[in-house]
Structure 1
Amino acid sequence: MATPDFILELRKSIGHAPLWLIGVTAVVVRGDEALLVRRADNGNWSNVAGVVDPGEEPADAAAREILEESGIIAEVETLVGVFAHEPLQYANGDQAQYLDVLFRCRWVSGDPHPADGENTAAAWWPLDALPPLPGTHDERLWLAVAQSGPALFRRRDTPADTQA
């Protein structure tokens, strides 16, 4: 994932210190298929994901990331959930933690292709024949596909089987 300019500017002031960022994950569904992109940096297939720009609405960021990464026009259908990811450290020493806003999106038009250089491929995958997905991408995809009802919110003090 290319680092947005606003983060590069912040890093000039804060160095590698922890940075709290808002991210979006967009699960794009077309019938019984899901859109996945193959990342150029590590070769993993994943959902479309990216950082929300300052002042940008998260749903707009999801639609933008889908178009930028895959050339697909999609409509954001529903908020699936909001989740805090564990802190991480990149190879260059930068530390970050993401608040991820997960959306289910509906394909409108376009054929998937690696549109911005962040990915080497973009393709529709049958839901019953998905490739291995890294980290929580598998969980996020299935949460989005199964979503009905209110958005999900994790709470550290509530057992997982009672969260909604």
Structure 2
Amino acid sequence: MSTPEYILNLRKHIGHQQLFLPSCTMIILRPAPAGSSIWEVPKALLARRADNGNWAPVTGICEPGEEVAITAVREVKEEVGVDAKVEALLGVGLVGPTTFDNGDECLFMDTSMRLSVPDDAEPFLADDENTEVDWFSVAHLPDSVNRQHRLLIADAVAQMKHPAGFRPRMGYRKRNA
């Protein structure tokens, strides 16, 4: 995530102290083609982060007063250049605390969502936050995708296949009964 201007302004006053920030994670799936075998699985859109080299879903920080669904659509367009539509809530939970290379500390209240893009959408690097972008089979994700993102991708597949039976994850550290 590049740092929004309002956070840079806050940092002038509070230094590296921990900030509690609203954020979102966008799981973008491309369904298996219609009529494909039961072994075909959806693909997830991932970007290789410039800051750590890991593959991850698109993420972003909400601007002051911005609805999280608006943040989701905006961040997808800014980072991977495609128009997206929010389809479903996957969950809400804490991420962090995170200490960045410059010493800044953040704790994020993250809202994760499943988004869709047009069938012919071709993502591309639209900013400098990532170094690559590609579609990956959810059965063969890159090793650098972290545990939390793997859970959210699995949740997105479950929600897409069985929307009526899906319950959003409330807290990322454990699944509510």
What TM-score comes out, normalization by structure 1 length? 0.90
| Structure 1 match to 2:78 | 68
SS at 1:73's partner residue?
coil
**How many Å separate the matches in 2 of 1:105 and 1:124?**
14
The alignment's C-alpha RMSD in Å is: 1.7
Opposite residue 12 of structure 2, the aligned amino acid is K
CA 135–150 in structure 1, closer or farther in 2 if over 3 Å, else same: closer
Q: Deviations over 1:58-115 (max 9, x none)?
A: 0111111111111111110011100012312112111110000000011125211111
From 86, 99, 104, the counterpart of 2:96: 86
Asked if 1:98 is matched to 2:108, the reply is: yes
Pairwise CA distance, 1:135: 5.0
Q: Deviations over 1:127-152 (max 9, x none)?
A: 22211203522222212221233322
Pairwise CA distance, 1:24: 0.3
| Structure 1 match to 2:36 | none
| Structure 1 match to 2:49 | 39
| Structure 1 match to 2:26 | 26
**How many Å separate the matches in 1 of 2:24 and 2:170?**
15
Unaligned runs of 5+ in 1: none
Query: Bigger CA drift: 5-14 or 123-132?
Result: 123-132
Q: Which portions of structure 1, spanning 4 or more consecutive aligned residues, are displaced by more than 4 angstroms?
A: none
| Structure 2 match to 1:124 | 135
**How many Å separate the matches in 2 of 1:75 and 1:86?**
27
Q: Deviations over 1:6-58 (max 9, x none)?
A: 10001011111110001100000111111001111221110000101111110
| Structure 1 match to 2:16 | 16
**How many Å separate the matches in 1 of 2:154 and 2:88?**
14
Asked if 1:107 is matched to 2:124, the reply is: no
Opposite residue 54 of structure 1, the aligned amino acid is P
SS at 1:86's partner residue?
strand
From 52, 57, 62, the counterpart of 1:52: 62
Overall identity of the aligned pairs, in %: 42
| Structure 1 match to 2:157 | 145
Opposite residue 3 of structure 1, the aligned amino acid is T
